[in-house]
Amino acid sequence: MPFLPISKQEMLEQGIEQFDFICVTGDSYVDHPSFGIAIISRVIESLGFTVGIIAQPDWHSTRDFMRLGRPKYAFMVTSGNIDSMVAHYTSAKKKRSDDAYTAGGKAGRRPDRAVIVYCKKIREAFGDIPIGIGGLEASLRRFAHYDYWDDAVRPSILEDSGADILMYGMGEHQIAEICTRLAKGEDVHSLTDIRGTAYLCKPEDTPYGAVECPSLKLCREDKKSYAKACRQQYDWQDEVYGRTIIQRQEKHMLVQLPPSPVLTTEELDKVYALPYMRTYHPIYEKDGGVPGIKEVEFSITHNRGCFGNCNFCSIALHQGRKIAVRSEESILAEARLLTTLPNFKGYIHDVGGPTANFRAPSCHKQLEHGLCKGKKCLAPEPCKALEVDHTEYLNLLRKIRAVPKVKKVFIRSGIRYDYLIEDKNDEFMRELIEHHVSGQLKVAPEHCSAVVLDKMGKPHIEAYKKFQDKFYRITGQIGKEQYLVPYLMSSHPGSTLKEAVELALFLKSLKIRPEQVQDFYPTPGTISTCMFYTELDPYTMEPVYVPKTPEEKAMQRALLQYFRPDNQRKVIEALQKAHRTDLIGNTKDCLVKPDAKYLAEERRRNEQRKDNSKWQQKGKHHQDGRPRQQGKQSKRQGR
């Protein structure tokens, strides 16, 4: 099968006069199942429809949006694999210089707020043609949401974009039903019963029996209302007990139906068996290709969803907490396929997903009753009902290792070490260390302070210490030299300078010198972003300290890399502000050596102390040196 057409010429070559559907994406066109637009477009095609792709159109006019003509049924719009604002800006709101999802890695090929801009251009070109939106940007902005870049609460992206229907989550069920029903002649505004979608209606047409969130107006005026809305949106995101959620926008009522059921193993196998070209479109060859394919070209996705449910992560609101998995046969078929590709060197870079070692429900109760509302399976401690078993995943990895031409199978997705150490059988951990680590294993303790970890929704640091000890013990037994590389986050809600100093001391005690440190990034829709904006914990309504100034963020980040000479001044300032000057000095227990400015300040302080001492002594004596009597003064003070 060829690539889906991206031009009139390719359209004619494939004998297509008019497309049924046209997909618009903010990424360069890569036909690989790690790219959302590739999956969605191939699913539409598998239903018997013709599909065109408009990748990274020039949004300054309507010309690019019209180049494939008017589709018979609808446009489907996504910003690409990530939110366009995250693609463009760092956590410090500075413009990025590159874009991994663009040919040549060039930044600036998509607009800010791409979904909104693309939809408006389509409306300008084609009027009231049906428009569906999906992908991460649409999914996480489906409700009224705090926007970090505007520093304001924005309405649902449905209201801002003018689209007709929003698909949240992974989208295969939704896109299939929408396309099929539009092709049967149904009006897009009548599609008000499809799970995993959201739409706008007149307030008087609001369905009965829904959970109502505080309105956009209330969320803008009252941070407690925003926090309440955030909790409601998370509490009812479950395919078993989830309910319709409504929220008044500026003019309309937003209606979000319950989540679509996760794909069954059979359904997921079919999605990954679609005829992907598994690379970028040849048009990008002149630019050196699309960098984003390099990390995933020889990787296999075996699961979806994550019951780890960290507060700063978007997976729970997007993919959901329930685990979906592909069959062993499907995964092995893909492994064999990878060995036939021209650039394959014998190495499969990953067999993973959101969390690599989740291949079963956290417990079987959830299959009937759903995942526990307002609770986490692993934090702050593992749930007593947690079922831990790596047997199936281990057997799968063994079979992939045995595929002819496969030299090595790595695991580069996140490993949940807190889940792993609950496994009473060491077999998986031993084989992980022996066969699947390329010298370094990346894990994500994120912090060491219980105060911060509770706000992150992560387990306490004792779980990491237990895993670390076991990792190095087994590594030594095997006779390998391998290391853990911990992911760490600075400036998360709950972290004062005191907690940042605590983390720096923890790293020093373990002789860990992180090369990269991630500042907390308030991306749309997460619980942590709610805390950042409201300074409240939506599950307790208790106040949360939030480091917001660039100065404090820089200090917290510098503390995590206290050993770097260029951070010396910033670390000293942080320790002074935290009243931990005992950690400035030349002894082994100190974090940083004093610099010239600090030594000069110390000299001035010492001189000042001496002067004050002299004046105090002088005040206690007469001019002839006789001590002054203090009794009467003391009695007066006593009264």
C-alpha–C-alpha distance, residues 25 and 382, integer Å = 40
Model pLDDT, residue 515: 83
Helices 596-619 and 568-577, packing angle to 10 deg: 30
Model pLDDT, residue 178: 98
Task: Check whether residue 475 and residue 330 sit in a common domain.
Answer: no
Model pLDDT, residue 632: 43
Residues above pLDDT 70, as percent of the chain: 96
Model pLDDT, residue 461: 97
Predicted TM-score (pTM) of the model is 0.93
For residue 540, give the DSSP letter: T
Q: Which residue is it, tokens 């062993």?
A: 328
> Which range has the worst mean pLDDT, 282-291, 320-329, 442-451, 507-516?
507-516
Q: What is the mean pLDDT of residues 117-139?
A: 98
CATH of the domain at 368: 3.30.750.210
Model pLDDT, residue 629: 55
Task: Tell whether the model's pLDDT for residue 633 goes beyond 80.
Answer: no
Please report which helix (H) or strand (E) contains residue 431, including its range: helix 427-435
Task: Check whether residue 356 and residue 302 sit in a common domain.
Answer: yes
Task: Tell whether the model's pLDDT for residue 636 goes beyond 70.
Answer: no
Is residue 17 assigned to a domain?
Answer: yes
Distances (CA, A) of 445 to 329, 457, 459: 34, 11, 8
Secondary structure class of 133 (helix, strand, coil): strand
Secondary structure class of 36 (helix, strand, coil): helix
Task: Check whether residue 356 and residue 398 sit in a common domain.
Answer: yes
Is residue 563 assigned to a domain?
Answer: yes
Task: Check whether residue 433 and residue 491 sit in a common domain.
Answer: no
Task: Check whether residue 206 and residue 310 sit in a common domain.
Answer: no
Is residue 566 assigned to a domain?
Answer: yes
Task: Check whether residue 323 and residue 394 sit in a common domain.
Answer: yes
For residue 273, give the DSSP letter: T
Mean pLDDT, the chain, integer: 94
Q: Are 400 and 406 in contact (CB under 8 A)?
A: yes
Q: What is the mean pLDDT of residues 240-255?
A: 97
Structure tokens at 283: 């048009």
Task: Tell whether the model's pLDDT for residue 635 goes beyond 60.
Answer: no
C-alpha–C-alpha distance, residues 353 and 544, integer Å = 32
Is residue 85 assigned to a domain?
Answer: yes
C-alpha–C-alpha distance, residues 263 and 172, integer Å = 8
Can the peptide bond before residue 380 be classed as cis, meaning omega within 30 degrees of 0?
yes
Question: Who has greater pLDDT, 3 or 515?
Answer: 3
Is residue 632 assigned to a domain?
Answer: no
Model pLDDT, residue 622: 55
Task: Tell whether the model's pLDDT for residue 242 goes beyond 90.
Answer: yes
C-alpha–C-alpha distance, residues 506 and 575, integer Å = 15
Is residue 269 assigned to a domain?
Answer: no
Of 222, 256, 290, the one marking the end of a domain is: 256
Model pLDDT, residue 638: 39
Model pLDDT, residue 634: 42
Structure tokens at 585: 């000095």
Burial of 582: CB neighbours in 10 Å, binned 0-12, 13-18, 19+ = exposed
| Selection from 153, 158, 251, 252 nearest residue 198 by Cα | 158
Of 375, 405, 438, the one marking the end of a domain is: 438
Give the model confidence (pLDDT) of 192-220 as tens digits.
Answer: 999 999 999 999 999 999 999 999 999 99
Give the model confidence (pLDDT) of 52-79 as tens digits.
Answer: 999 999 999 999 999 999 999 999 999 9
Amino acid symbol at 432:
L
Model pLDDT, residue 89: 97
Model pLDDT, residue 623: 53
> Which range has the worst mean pLDDT, 281-290, 507-516, 527-536, 608-617?
608-617
Is residue 353 assigned to a domain?
Answer: yes
Q: Are 419 and 501 in contact (CB under 8 A)?
A: no
Of 406, 438, 470, the one marking the end of a domain is: 438
Give the model confidence (pLDDT) of 437-456 as tens digits.
Answer: 988 998 999 999 999 999 99
Task: Check whether residue 239 and residue 97 sit in a common domain.
Answer: yes
Three-state SS string over 365-430 comes to HHHHHCCCCCCCCCCCCCCCCCCCCCHHHHHHHHHHHCCCCCCEECCCCCCCHHHHCCCCCCHHHH
Task: Tell whether the model's pLDDT for residue 606 goes beyond 90.
Answer: no
Give the model confidence (pLDDT) of 309-327 as tens digits.
Answer: 999 999 989 999 999 999 9
C-alpha–C-alpha distance, residues 192 and 222, integer Å = 30
Question: Who has greater pLDDT, 628 or 315?
Answer: 315
Q: How many domains does the chain have?
A: 3
Is residue 284 assigned to a domain?
Answer: no
Instruction: Let me know the angle formed at the C-alpha of 140 by 48 and 38, rounded to the nearest 5 degrees.
Output: 30
Task: Tell whether the model's pLDDT for residue 288 goes beyond 70.
Answer: yes
Residues above pLDDT 90, as percent of the chain: 92
Task: Check whether residue 36 and residue 154 sit in a common domain.
Answer: yes
Listing DSSP states for 287-348 in one string gives GT--GGGTTTTTEEE-EE--TT--TT-SHHHHT-SS-EE--HHHHHHHHHHHTTSTT--SEE
- At residue 113 the predicted structure's pLDDT band, cuts being 50, 70 and 90, is very high
CATH of the domain at 117: 3.40.50.2300
Question: Who has greater pLDDT, 39 or 618?
Answer: 39
Task: Check whether residue 408 and residue 461 sit in a common domain.
Answer: no
CATH of the domain at 584: 3.30.750.200
Q: Are 553 and 547 in contact (CB under 8 A)?
A: yes
Task: Check whether residue 363 and residue 417 sit in a common domain.
Answer: yes
What phi and psi values does residue 497 have, to the nearest 5 degrees? -60, -30
Secondary structure class of 538 (helix, strand, coil): coil
Task: Check whether residue 243 and residue 378 sit in a common domain.
Answer: no
C-alpha–C-alpha distance, residues 484 and 433, integer Å = 11
Give the domain extent around 318: 298-438
Structure tokens at 55: 């990748």
Task: Check whether residue 311 and residue 403 sit in a common domain.
Answer: yes
Q: Are 242 and 236 in contact (CB under 8 A)?
A: yes
C-alpha–C-alpha distance, residues 501 and 506, integer Å = 9
